[in-house]
Amino acid sequence: MKTTYREAMRAALRDAMQRDERVFLMGEDVGRYGGSFAVSLGLLEEFGPDRIRDTPLSESGFVGAGIGAALGGMRPVVEIMTVNFSLLALDQIINNAATLLHMSGGQFNVPIVIRMTTGAGRQLGAQHSHSLEGWYAHIPGLRILTPATLADARGMLWTALQDPDPVLIFEHGSLYNMAGDLDDDAGPVDVDKAALLRHADGTGESLTLITYGGTLPLVLAAADQLAEEGIDTDVIDLRTLRPLDTHTILDSVAGTHRAVVVDEGWRSGSISAEIAARICELAFFDLDAPVERVCSLEVPVPYAKHLEEAALPSVGRVMAAARRAVGANG
């Protein structure tokens, strides 16, 4: 069937609420307005105000309420409008949700799912263009999901709701309008493994392109253009940033001997730095070239369109990094 990323997310919410009466959605404007990105449009009319709950403008308050509901046996899905607003709930997410299982000696799980929009590229200014999922991937006790495909937008939520511990789902704002075909029987997906979406055929120069979320479409576009230049690629969609599927990354690098990591976060202290470090630690002798990284420039994301485009990863920057990796051995 034809659908969009937004509609796939809505179908996932509807399916979860039909499957389990403990599941409810709460957040700012998720009810009567239908969600800031229209993901929950129509769900209030379908499930009523007890299960689609509009909240006050207090991220710390409603994330804390979600944690309490999870401790009480419910399965809350908490929507934070954009990732920058999650900073107002850091204490609840990091000091409570992520730590209560440990601090209670294994007595109290916190099965909460927190959804939020992330990423730049939509001229929303510096405060609404953060890509902070790599920050959260630093925290033990959290699982970090980054659906980049229609199948994952449809399937990750139910899987997340089965996790006894907190799960954060980062939805890149540029993907909501992405349209395509989705199987009629699409449902829950495995979130433990990265996805190899393109496989090098072993002819000519090859390398591994590693990315996630909103940068996946541009990486796939770069892979198509690199193929025309005789550079063949594995393309890995990480899907989950914590825990990282290191095995899939290392297995690919063992075959291609080069890696380019594409991450919309800033370069310093980023998830791309962690991935590059793991490759160097665990696959150093498989490498024929230094690991390349393509990240956002170390500036607040500009509002002006031409400056924003210059600051973010692009097809051209990915291709340039790939050529450097191949040229380093040639």
Catalytic residues: 59, 128
Yes or no: say if 90 and 96 are a contact pair by the CB < 8 Å rule: no
134, 189 contact by CB (below 8 A): no
Contact between 137 and 239 under an 8 Å Cβ cutoff? The reply is no
List the structure tokens of 88.
Answer: 């107002």
> What strand order describes the sheet that includes 167-172?
52-54, 23-27, 75-82, 113-118, 167-172, 143-145, 240-242
Instruction: Please report, for residues 133, 175, 190, 205, 330, the alpha-carbon distance to residue 303 in angstroms, rounded to integers and kept in the order given.
Output: 21, 19, 37, 38, 40
Tokens of 123: 């001229």
Strands 195-198 and 231-237: antiparallel
What tokens were used for 82?
Answer: 């954009």
Alpha helices per DSSP H over the chain: 5-19, 43-47, 59-71, 90, 100-103, 133-136, 150-161, 216-228, 246-256, 271-282, 305-311, 315-327
Q: Are strands 179-181 and 2-4 parallel, antiparallel or unpaired?
A: antiparallel
- What span, in angstroms and rounded, lies between the C-alpha atoms of 260 and 319? 10
- Separation between Cα atoms, residue 130 and residue 168, nearest integer Å: 16
Closest CA to 178 of 154, 152, 202, 149: 149
Nearest to 209 by CA among 189, 192, 176, 231: 231
